[in-house]
Amino acid sequence: MSANYSEDSIRTLEWNEHIRLRPGMYIGKLGDGSSPDDGIYVLIKEVVDNSIDEFVMGFGKTIEISIDDKQVTVRDYGRGIPLGKVVDCVSKINTGAKYDSKVFKKSVGLNGVGTKAVNALSSYFTIQSIREGRSKKAVFESGKLIEDIPEKDNTGRKGTIVTFVPDEEIFGKYRYIDDYIEKLLWNYVFLNRGLTISFNGMKMQAENGLLDLLNRNIDTPISYPIIHLQEDDLEFAFTHSATQYSEEYFSFVNGQHTTQGGTHQNAFRETLTKTIRDFYKKDFDSNDIKTSIIVALSIKVQEPVFESQTKTKLGSLNLEPQGKGPSIRNYIADILKRRLDNYLHMNPDTAEALLRKILQSEKERKDMASIKKLARERVKKASLHNKKLRDCRIHYSNNHERRLETTLFITEGDSASGSITKARDVNTQAVFSLKGKPLNCYGLTKKIVYENEEFNLLQAALNIEESLEDLRYNNVVIATDADVDGMHIRLLLITFFLQFFPDLVRNGHLYILQTPLFRVRNKQKTIYCYSEQEKRDAIEELKGKPEITRFKGLGEISPDEFGAFIGTSIRLDPVLLKKDLIIKDMLEFYMGKNTPDRQNFIIDNLRVELDVVEV
């Protein structure tokens, strides 16, 4: 029987109700804080963006950010919101100053939504503006105005103060990871010279823009000194890694990190290829130019057009509204071609080193051609029999929220992969099954990726042979037993990614699945425990003599139970690269020849664990 469709079926939601009902429309996915694109970080970004816009317009050189448990406070020293509009600016959709391009010429936020989404998705939210010797403050809960505090005299420095606590009803049990926040904030200072950001007392400043960004983020030897050029609203810096193979981009529009690229990034890639071909007067294969390149790119435009509220991809547009002025593609092409050509003529040593790198990539590509052809044939043959990969139904569709949820579990053994396969969400979760321990690939060339069946099929499943841009799964999760063999497999897989696809790790896509060690239950309740302490707490909570089960491996957990561990309550530990870590040196220590130092380290730590895995 069909549902009755009448006037009673039509609902009008309050602004905050709509945001809370459909948060993905405003902040992308939710998550628990284990991923850098989880919603709790988007909330921080939305508030800080407003403070950055003040700085860009010439007001306020310092932004202070603090996090106390789950409460975030952002304080800037800009102009302050006009006092009579403080409440409206954070609680009325389509209210804000960003619609007036004279006031905010090259702003990140143009839709008047950002802080309103933060307000609606926070259990506690306060906004205070100080200007002209007066202040105004308002307090909200879940977007509802709780306290509208009248204006009063205030002799403090002008600016805006926002405090909020993301709502656990929306985000569940979440946690902040400082590394993700620090990376976000460092990008702000790299893109805004003269800006100082204080995060929990730590000061961040950068004097050399994107040059500093690359110097901070590059952790491999480079083929030549970084080329850093700037003109008007375009800035770029790039070099080639001497050891890694993948193409890596840090691209920004009006300070927004466009992790999915867009028009500006495509224009840069195309023009770079053409300029290098013209300079050397040789028709290089574009892949030989792009292999192992590391680029930072920033452009400022008026009224940018992004493909979603989360602003991760720039659409096509002209540099001025109403179709005036050159397109972004032509603007970038003109500056890049002219400035890079001049630079290479004036710096012959760098030009020679760049040529050597391209010729080296060309030689390696030709040497690998026959191997790659055979490898692709093996992938096609294996795909027909579906031996390794049990795929999901949704890859990178136009549904931004669902794309960010896409996950590949890498498992070992039939029993473990079988349990996950039966329990998974077939729409967004895929399973790749390993056969035994993978090869220790430390020190080997990329040729081994194509010659080794496991690595070749894994690379094909992820679709990362040429570029991370086409990665088919946003989350790549290593799911192995928590015993010595499982830890060893985990170590070997992390080595594989760091050796050949380090940008997959750098960009926050690699995780370790945490599964419970114990099940503690009585007739009324079951508690799954991930540590000895959690087991003791569970025994205390259940009283008496509850039944205690020790899980020795993933295969011992039934598919019904597994559904909870890879569903909404999934526990993922991100694999993070610590600051100032040199990948080559770290891999040499852990995966190179056995040394007394490594033996002593393992004995002292009593466990096999990479220094890059922060739990």
Between 237-251, 318-332, 403-417, 532-546, the lowest mean confidence (pLDDT) is in 318-332
Strand extents, DSSP E, 278-399: 293-299, 389-390
Strand 248-253 with 293-299, pairing: parallel
Q: Residue 429: is its pLDDT beyond 60?
A: yes
Q: Which H helix or E strand runs over 240?
A: strand 234-240
Identify the band that residue 77 occupies on the pLDDT scale cut at 50, 70 and 90. Answer: very high
The pLDDT, as a whole number, for residue 337 is 94
The pLDDT, as a whole number, for residue 277 is 95
Identify the band that residue 59 occupies on the pLDDT scale cut at 50, 70 and 90. Answer: very high
Residue among 611, 592, 587 at smallest CA distance from 601: 611
Identify the band that residue 388 occupies on the pLDDT scale cut at 50, 70 and 90. Answer: confident
By the 8 A CB rule, do 404 and 260 touch?
no
Average pLDDT estimate for 588-605: 64
Give me the phi and psi of 31, to 5 degrees please: 75, 175
Q: Residue 161: is its pLDDT beyond 70?
A: yes
Identify the band that residue 502 occupies on the pLDDT scale cut at 50, 70 and 90. Answer: confident
By the 8 A CB rule, do 419 and 376 touch?
no
Q: Residue 586: is its pLDDT beyond 70?
A: no
The pLDDT, as a whole number, for residue 125 is 95
Pairwise CA distance, residues 164 & 282, whole Å = 56
More confident residue, 530 or 103: 530
Q: Residue 168: is its pLDDT beyond 70?
A: yes
When mean pLDDT is compared over 15-24, 218-227, 370-379, 579-588, the highest value belongs to: 218-227
Joined together, the tokens standing for residue 90 give 């954070």
The pLDDT, as a whole number, for residue 318 is 54
By the 8 A CB rule, do 214 and 297 touch?
no
The pLDDT, as a whole number, for residue 322 is 47
The pLDDT, as a whole number, for residue 300 is 86
Q: Residue 108: is its pLDDT beyond 60?
A: no
Average pLDDT estimate for 91-116: 56
Pairwise CA distance, residues 221 & 584, whole Å = 9
Identify the band that residue 401 occupies on the pLDDT scale cut at 50, 70 and 90. Answer: low
What is the strand order of the sheet 389-390 is part of? 389-390, 429-434, 407-412, 475-479, 510-514, 571-574
Pairwise CA distance, residues 343 & 72, whole Å = 44
The pLDDT, as a whole number, for residue 166 is 94
The pLDDT, as a whole number, for residue 237 is 96
HSE of 415, CA atoms in CB hemisphere, 13 A:
9
By the 8 A CB rule, do 521 and 527 touch?
yes
Identify the band that residue 585 occupies on the pLDDT scale cut at 50, 70 and 90. Answer: low
The pTM (predicted TM-score) of the whole model is 0.77
Ramachandran class of 383: left when φ > 0, alpha when ψ lies in -120 to 50, beta otherwise? alpha
Residues 435-485: pLDDT tens digits?
Answer: 878 888 887 788 888 888 888 888 888 988 777 777 889 899 998 877 777
Burial, 398: exposed, middle or buried (Cβ in 10 Å; 0-12, 13-18, 19+)? exposed
**Within a 10 A sphere around the Cβ of 407, how many other Cβ atoms?**
22
Scan for tokens 């694999």, then name that residue: 575
DSSP state of 327: B
| Alpha-carbon distance values, 196 to 187, 217, 233, 413 (Å) | 12, 19, 21, 51
Identify the band that residue 9 occupies on the pLDDT scale cut at 50, 70 and 90. Answer: low
Pairwise CA distance, residues 56 & 252, whole Å = 15
Identify the band that residue 100 occupies on the pLDDT scale cut at 50, 70 and 90. Answer: very low
**Within a 10 A sphere around the Cβ of 2, how many other Cβ atoms?**
4
HSE of 462, CA atoms in CB hemisphere, 13 A:
24
Identify the band that residue 268 occupies on the pLDDT scale cut at 50, 70 and 90. Answer: very high
Residues 477-501: pLDDT tens digits?
Answer: 998 877 777 888 888 898 888 888 8
More confident residue, 304 or 102: 304
By the 8 A CB rule, do 608 and 602 touch?
yes
Helix (H, G, I), strand (E, B) or coil at 199: strand
Average pLDDT estimate for 347-360: 95
Within 395-531, residue ranges assigned H as helices are 400-403, 414-423, 447-451, 453-462, 484-500, 502-506
Average pLDDT estimate for 336-354: 95
More confident residue, 415 or 171: 171
Mean pLDDT, the chain, integer: 82
By the 8 A CB rule, do 113 and 133 touch?
no
Pairwise CA distance, residues 139 & 146, whole Å = 6
Q: Which H helix or E strand runs over 128?
A: strand 122-131
The pLDDT, as a whole number, for residue 7 is 58
Helix (H, G, I), strand (E, B) or coil at 300: coil
Q: Residue 416: is its pLDDT beyond 80?
A: no
Q: Which domains does the chain have, with CATH numbers?
A: 15-204 (3.30.565.10), 209-364 (3.30.230.10), 386-515+551-605 (3.40.50.670)
More confident residue, 581 or 577: 577
Scan for tokens 């890059």, then name that residue: 612
By the 8 A CB rule, do 247 and 289 touch?
no
Residue among 421, 396, 420 at smallest CA distance from 406: 396
Within 143-233, residue ranges assigned H as helices are 168-171, 178-191, 209-217
Q: Residue 2: is its pLDDT beyond 80?
A: no
Pairwise CA distance, residues 461 & 459, whole Å = 6
Helix (H, G, I), strand (E, B) or coil at 599: helix
Average pLDDT estimate for 215-238: 91
